[in-house]
Amino acid sequence: MTYYQFIHEVEVKVKEGVKENTTVYIRSAVKNNGTTRQGLTIAETGLNIFPTIYLEEYYQQFQEGSSVENIAGDILRLYGEVRFKRSFESESITDYEKVKKKIVYRLVNQEANKDLLKEVPYEAYLDMAIVFYVLLEVNTYGMASMLIKDEHLAMWNVTAEEICRRAYENTGKLLPYELKTMKAVIQELTDTESEDKEDVMYVLSNRSRSYGAAAILYKGRLEGIGEYLKEDYYVLPSSVHEVIIIPQSAAPGQEELSDLVTEINTTQVDAEEVLSNHAYYYDRKKKKLLM
């Protein structure tokens, strides 16, 4: 069964399991790095905000032997947990006073998002771009957010500089950083003990681990890591969600590290989540991240 056939089969089964006041339909969306994803949107009558559940991972489960019926059941159970209980107050988006404390930033690849950047306020940062969002909700399953476009600036009658200033004020507060050893992260994700005796690598993200690579922009964060390590270090953009920190004394060199990042991006990271193919270098004396 092709992926196209699969999503239509799942759509039929999910429709059979929802209430009469609920509509199920396939939705295509252009995501980060210009990637297109298809998912099922489940919309309840009377609500103006509803989730889209993307199906690529479910298709992989299907190819590994799971049935369409079981997958549809998993989607319905997930929907029961993530569905919005009430409508979003749309007027709160039009009122800048109600959104200004919720404005945050994210880091994305500049070249891969060049079409998107034509219609949004952004700041260039090395080979990346800082883009801005309104953070609507954060929960166990991630975050609901709205990308800020030029049209929003016109509606709010504010400048890009004002949006940027607010984002720098808010992001570290709303999405606190998290720095852990690679060993601790692997233990947490796999529930197994790492055999590595020494921790030389660290993972920097936010506590939600969603677009947490932007934590390198938090005021004083890179400087603080340098003080802790007591040496210069490399920053590997493993995805938009986190970066890996490697002390200079434990690293092979910037060119080798960039080759490693490129290989990992090509073989292990979803195209939507790639941030950059370059390893960066933090210079403690200059207090600056360099290409």
The answer to whether residues 122 and 128 touch, using CB atoms and an 8 Å cutoff, is no
Using one digit for the tens of pLDDT, what is the confidence trace for 194-246? 565 567 899 999 998 999 999 999 999 999 999 999 999 999 999 999 999 99
| Confidence band, pLDDT 50/70/90 cuts, at residue 51 | confident
| Confidence band, pLDDT 50/70/90 cuts, at residue 60 | very high
Position 283 scores a pLDDT of: 97
Position 149 scores a pLDDT of: 96
The answer to whether residues 92 and 99 touch, using CB atoms and an 8 Å cutoff, is yes
Position 229 scores a pLDDT of: 95
Position 80 scores a pLDDT of: 85
- For 260, list phi and psi in degrees, rounded to 5: -65, -45
Position 49 scores a pLDDT of: 75
Using the predicted structure, report yes or no on whether residue 82 has a pLDDT greater than 80: no
Position 136 scores a pLDDT of: 83
Position 187 scores a pLDDT of: 79
- Residue 4 contacts by C-beta under 8 Å, 6 or more apart in sequence? none
pTM: 0.83
Cα gap 258→248, rounded to integer Å: 14
Report the range of poorest mean pLDDT among 6-10, 140-144, 204-208, 261-265.
140-144
Using one digit for the tens of pLDDT, what is the confidence trace for 115-169? 999 999 999 999 999 999 999 877 666 677 889 999 999 999 999 999 999 999 9
Question: What's the CA dihedral at 56, 215, 262, 53 to 10 degrees?
Answer: 10
Using the predicted structure, report yes or no on whether residue 73 has a pLDDT greater than 80: yes
Position 190 scores a pLDDT of: 73
For residues 46-67, average pLDDT: 88
Using the predicted structure, report yes or no on whether residue 64 has a pLDDT greater than 70: yes
Report the range of poorest mean pLDDT among 91-95, 191-195, 220-224.
191-195
In sequence order, the β-bridge partners of residue 236 are 244
Position 81 scores a pLDDT of: 81
Cα gap 216→187, rounded to integer Å: 23
Q: Rounded mean pLDDT of the chain?
A: 90
Position 87 scores a pLDDT of: 55
Q: At what angle do helices 56-63 and 68-82 cross, to 10 degrees?
A: 150
